[in-house]
Amino acid sequence: MMRWIVGTSMKFRYLVLAGALGMLVLGLVQLPSTPVDAFPEFAPPRVEIQTAALGLSATEVEELVTIPLEQSLNGVEGLDTMRSKSVTDLSLIDLRFDRSTDLLRARQLVQERVNLVTPTLPRWASPPFMIQPLSSTSRAMKIGLSSDTRSVIEMSMTSYWNIRQRLIRVPGVANVTIYGERLQMYQVQVDPGRLADNKVSLNQIMDATADALDAGLLQFSDGGFIGTGGQVETPNQRLGVRTVLPIVTPEDLAKVAVVEQDGRTLRIGDVANVVEDHQPLIGDAVINDGPGLMLIVEKFPWANTVDVTNGVDAALEQLAPGLQGIKVDAELFRPATFINLAISNLMTALLIGCLLVVLILIAFLFEWRTALISVVAIPLSLVAAGLVLYQSGAVINTMILAGLVVAVGVVVDDAIIDVENILRRLRQHRRDGTGGSTMRIILEASLEVRSAILYATIINLVAVVPVFFIEGLTGAFFQPLIAAFALAVLASLIVALTVTPAMALLLLRNAPLERRDVPPLVRGLQRGYTWLLARTIRSPKPAYAMIGVIVALAAAVLPLLGQSLLPSFKERDFLMHWLLKPGSGHPEMIRITEQVSKELRAIPGVRNFGAHVGQALQADEPYGIDFTENWISIDPEVDYDHTVAEIQRVVDGYPGLQRDVQTYLKERVKEVLTGASESIVIRVIGPDLDVLRAKADEVRNSLAGIEGITDLTRDQIVDVPQVRVTVDLAAAQAYGLKPGDVRRASATLVAGEEVGDI
């Protein structure tokens, strides 16, 4: 078989070389447009369900929303792990599936289960919704908006109606969440004292407000029924009637009548302040020391970060004329910069390696024709592997490039052995004057080494096959590396069987090869090796002693070597988790965040600062207002290690809260491994919270003495101060009130209720 392949390749050498040239050209044209990313998709298929339940405490959310959903979702096909989190106003259920599960099928199965349980949930809870499918490294960009001339409410409306709607159309963008969003609305801020003085109930004010609008949202009020305009008929035409709402400003709404009392009309403005304001905040943002908005662009699993970033940049450029007075900072977090730098560095290393190989080939072979054959064979093998990956839809990442870099050693070996043996046989033939055509000599010379090379190739491939059976995070990282390595090795074998003999026949048939058999560099190395080998054979004891010393040193060093799945990448974007004691207030969190923003931005090389606090609507992180993620980026020109040390020093200056400094890639890997941002998480499970706290403290104290642990914390599961309203049934009965009336009134006064749209 191999004889036929090699012989046919030489017979149709021009066709083979044309195909090789075409492949190189195709690679040069297509491979630069191949999608690139930092890492392969390493997270298992994941589905996240959120249910908003405004006005409920974390305990009520858990009992009334989360538990019924968990019971319904148990047993979904392929489900590996289900975690849930209940916070004030929001329930989140995170489902992780087996890695072999099809993501879209998993989403469908989950949606069917959710549909079954939705009718049984409390009516006032929003219908559960499924977060978009997100990549392992879902954060593609973080964009900060700030302004000296426009309010945060104005920026919020511009962001929601213009910026978000444009960015969501960028191919690959799954979602754009807005932290710090303040929705523009007219608020009737009722004064209980004035209500009492005028003997008007809160329900009357709500009804009057809802009924004054075209679209009232109170279900059982007159405003809940929208009347049609109808039409007016004339002898020759029909005129449609459209009612134009006269309420345009808060002042207009304040003039709406509530009741007639003692011959006078009581208006909404008599018992309430009608103003333009925003909803109660569940989260916020700090941009470069002050208030602003943070837009987080998230991508689909099948999208790549660089293309998404370029698309978002183009969209922001189109939007720029309409964003007068708004400062747009698209550099808060930009992983595409790191990806481009990492890919560029790997490509540079690959090119330098290939260049060194070329120089060594010239020095060792000492014949330009043979060196040219090897120089063509090496990149051709790598390009062929790259084209296969491109056609299979693979995203080029650091692991794939690392596989190609590792494969260079095998590719070089394939290229050199064939050419060197062909050259040696041709010189021997011409020196001895033996018979036989050049084509037959090249054929026999190729086959002489091909069997051994074939066995070596098979051994190489068989040795890496077990990697494809590794499960979990390790398999997700190393399988692309081994796939790229295997493809390059196979491509090298095919090139050695086809292109190498074809080029050898074309270039070496009439070439003057009557030079000395051994190049000067090789002759010098041979003399040194012969001298060393002779001394070793005569007296092998020093060699044995040297081997013993090396083995002893290796055994001594082995325990000192660290073990890590990934190296420490020098990303230029950093995040700091910022966790105050649960129950801490919004103003305090903003004060501390603005303070650390000023300190971090004072460090030379720190270019900008952005923080998102708590939650955002339809975001994938359900945290309270006591949680913040601070993001900064540093200039590539500054000293990396020194700047990181300065950042750590500033963060360590806030000892009263839980904090850390890390890069996004490491944080995502930890989250996949442990479900949290820590490297190792120990979960203590049980029905009694007091016992759980005690046991957690015992575990923490036991771990405290272990060498190497640098950040040992316990989740702050504490009793959060609350204002409790307990209805006095006897007093309520005297006023004709029910407990539900009290709850609804207090909730409306404190949290507000939407009664209509303008």
572 pLDDT exceeds 90? no
Local confidence band at 323 (pLDDT 50, 70, 90 cut-offs): very high
Report which of 653, 381, 665, 386 is spatially closest to residue 498, judged by C-alpha positions: 381
515 pLDDT exceeds 60? no
What does the pLDDT read at residue 434? 62
161-171 average pLDDT score: 94
Cβ burial, residue 78 (10 Å; 0-12/13-18/19+) = middle
Q: Which H helix or E strand runs over 297?
A: strand 293-299
**Cα–Cα distance list, 291 to 151, 177, 331, 626, 707 (Å):** 9, 17, 17, 17, 42
Alpha helix ranges (H) inside 539-575:
541-557
66 pLDDT exceeds 80? yes
Report the C-alpha gap between 750 and 189 in whole angstroms. Answer: 10
The percent of residues above 90 in pLDDT, for the chain, comes to 30
Long-range CB pairs of 359-364 (<8 Å, 24+ gap) are 361/416, 363/519, 363/521, 364/416, 364/519, 364/521, 364/522
What does the pLDDT read at residue 141? 92
For all residues of the chain together, what is the average pLDDT? 85
Report the C-alpha gap between 7 and 10 in whole angstroms. Answer: 5
Q: Say what angle helices 368-391 and 335-365 make with each other, to 10 degrees.
A: 150
Phi, psi of 302 (to 5 degrees): -90, 0
755 pLDDT exceeds 70? yes
pLDDT tens sequence across 200-241: 989 899 999 998 888 888 877 777 777 777 889 999 999 988
Local confidence band at 420 (pLDDT 50, 70, 90 cut-offs): confident
Report the C-alpha gap between 242 and 216 in whole angstroms. Answer: 17
Handedness of CA 75, 76, 79, 81 (dihedral sign): negative
pLDDT tens sequence across 640-660: 889 999 999 999 898 878 888
Local confidence band at 516 (pLDDT 50, 70, 90 cut-offs): low
Is residue 27 within 8 Å of residue 383, measured between CB atoms? yes
Does the reported pTM lie above 0.85?
no
The percent of residues above 70 in pLDDT, for the chain, comes to 96
Q: Which H helix or E strand runs over 352?
A: helix 335-365
